[in-house]
A and B are shown apart, each in its own frame.
Chain A
Amino acid sequence: MTTSDMSTSELDDNPIEVRISLDMVKRGIYVAPLIIAVAAMPWGGPGALSAAFALGLVFVNFLLAAALVSGAAKISTALVMAATLFGYLIRLGLILVAFLLVRDASWISRPALGATIIVSHIGLLVWELKYVAISLAHAGLKPARP
């Protein structure tokens, strides 16, 4: 078995994208009560519910992106290209559909929804950078300290 075969089978068994996404979702769940509480301050109950909905959208978006990329990478590297681009369109469409389904609901606060989507998406990504190892030895997440 060559080095590349070993790394490929290891990546297929435990895809990097899924590990990173699950780690981001885990951190997102930790800070979710804080985000919801902050959104509830200016926008009240609808703000809290909208923030929770936005967090759900962001989590699903991360997990879906990871599933699409890792699933495509298992089949072929060339398929990653197609899966990523069409996945991008599909996920944008899904977010739009999710918003259209709830836009007239009484519990929706659009500013809270928008602000939470942007802040949580970018915030979780920047936070995750601290735990990601860009090295050949530990691709993906940094190993836990003993």
Chain B
Amino acid sequence: MEAFTILAQEADKAAAAASSAGFAYGLAAIGPGIGIGYLVGKSVEAMARQPEAAGMVRTTMFLGIAFTEALALIGFVVFILIGL
């Protein structure tokens, strides 16, 4: 009986770690999602206003997307280190 209790407690701990890791990953993806949406929205607006500057805008947009995505990757790393 005691073995079952210990087993259940360990399972609870593992489940809590997995769910909190998933929660952290989800939270970490929200901020960059908003950031990328804002960044691309403004870039599309800039390209529509000034099509001849599209190359320059797309350069900064692409780098901006990659930098913003680094935040989500940090969340992913926290997820793989503490969870699953």
- A interface, CB within 8 angstroms of B: 3-4, 7-8, 10-11, 16-17, 20, 61-62, 65-66, 69, 73, 77-78, 80-81, 84-85, 88-89, 91-92, 95-96, 99-100, 103, 110-111, 113-115, 117-118, 121-122, 125, 128-129, 132-136, 139-140
- Are A77 and B56 touching (Cβ within 8 A)? no
What residues of B have a CB within 8 angstroms of the CB of A88 in the complex?
32-33, 36, 65, 69, 72
Q: Within the complex, which residue of A7, A114, A128 is in contact with B52, where a contact is CB–CB below 8 Å? A: A7
Q: Shortest distance in angstroms between A146's beta carbon and chain B's nearest beta carbon?
A: 22
Total A-B residue contacts, Cβ distance less than 8 Å = 120
Q: Within the complex, which residue of B37, B62, B63, B70 is in contact with A121, where a contact is CB–CB below 8 Å? A: B70
- B interface, CB within 8 angstroms of A: 25, 29, 32-33, 36-37, 40-41, 43-44, 47-48, 51-56, 58-63, 65-67, 69-70, 72-74, 76-77, 80-81, 84
- Are A139 and B59 touching (Cβ within 8 A)? yes
Q: Cα distance A73–B43 when bound, in Å? A: 12
Q: Within the complex, which residue of B52, B59, B66, B76 is in contact with A117, where a contact is CB–CB below 8 Å? A: B76
- Are B52 and A4 touching (Cβ within 8 A)? yes
What residues of A have a CB within 8 angstroms of the CB of B56 in the complex?
134-136, 139
